[in-house]
Structure 1
Amino acid sequence: MSIKENINKLRFEIPEGVDLLAVSKTKPIEDLEEAYQAGIRDFGENKVQELLSKEEEFHKDVRWHLIGKLQTNKVKYLVDKVYLIHSLSSLKLLKEVERVFRNADKIANTLIQINIGREESKSGILEEELFDLINEVEKCNHVFVKGIMVIIPKGNDEDNRKYFRRTKKIFDDLKQKDYKNIKMEILSMGMTHDFKVAIEEGSTLVRVGQGVFGERDYNI
């Protein structure tokens, strides 16, 4: 199917109230253009450099999401370029985002990435570290947390559901609390292979790459 046909199929499968983020990492501008013409305005990139390159030459009404691991030395490049950072995952990174965006007198909108599966190969804070990070966020003036993001371990629907359900409970518990810089609006969970289960368990934003663009080109 074409990219447009993929998007139309996804729109049929994704209910109202859940946002579709087209994960465009490694994809050429021509593919992004086809998605744009089909109505997509939110694109997700893994690497800062690729995001910057595409942002420079693409439509200016696009909202760019940084969904990959963010290194502290790359934070400075995201000012005025990124709509939402999905991967706030450590105190060190938080402090650098606050410093850089304070110097620019801007606000960084972020999601806290939780390593819900406790995988050594994945970024994200562990559950027991969450409130230490939240306490530091509350001291910031230029970082705003809008929700949570997870990348769960690969598994079957039953395993996936367990992780999604656990994340939703954390999201709901935080939603009940009154914070200065934190408001649980976005629950970013679910990708091409598991977004349907994620939506059933409360996701408000799904990150779909292959389901939009087809197989990824790993040579780029």
Structure 2
Amino acid sequence: MKCLLRQLVGAKAGNYVRIGVIDTGVGIPPENLEKIFDPFFTTKEPGKGTGLGLAIVQKVVHGHGGFVLVRSKMGEGTQFDLYFPASPSEVPTLVHYTRSLPPRGRGELVLVVDDEVEILDVIRRVLENHGYSVIVANTGAEAVMQFINHKDEITGAIVDLMMTDIEGKALISSFRKVNPQVPVIAITGLLDSGSVSQEHAAAILVKPFSATELLITLHRSFIEWIRTPRPSRE
């Protein structure tokens, strides 16, 4: 009961849409059910998981005014139910419009940093298909090395704030020390980007985002960063 009440904190009366996810795995031990949404809690071996997945899921659902319920039985499996507030019965008329893409890139070199290889590949393909050149890194150390090696060629960087081996803010600060003229876009799965501000990042994108949002943000960041005075490199 205590675990259920904790999951319902902040829930409001009303109609909801439920999305259920069920597995037939080994189940979650009762003593862990109260901890699974805690940031960095994991039962995996060191280096095999960050313990942030369910914490991010719950934060995103809460951000939409919903809540998450979990039921699990050892030896049978686990069920997660995501509840989102339903739209009112009178749905307003949708206004359809076309959001045009920004001008194509001209071969500008962009560094993309994310510890998830699949996300790296998707962003790389989106940028390359729109005329940009791309180099990637999936660790903080590799990102710093790439930035140093290409400090005079890189025109922009896209950095995941939730890297497993280094804090995103610290990584961006490292870039600033090498070349403060390069605009950096921070990407995150959390609605609250924490202490990252315009002093560190030219823009912040919250996952999930579309290819159009990425391209528009990158283009605007280039323009705004050029217009804003920055300290010169020593």
Q: Which has the higher contact order (CA 8 A, sep 6+)?
A: 1
Q: Same fold (TM over 0.5)?
A: no
- The higher radius of gyration belongs to 2
TM-score (norm 1): 0.33
Structure richer in helix, relative to its length: 1
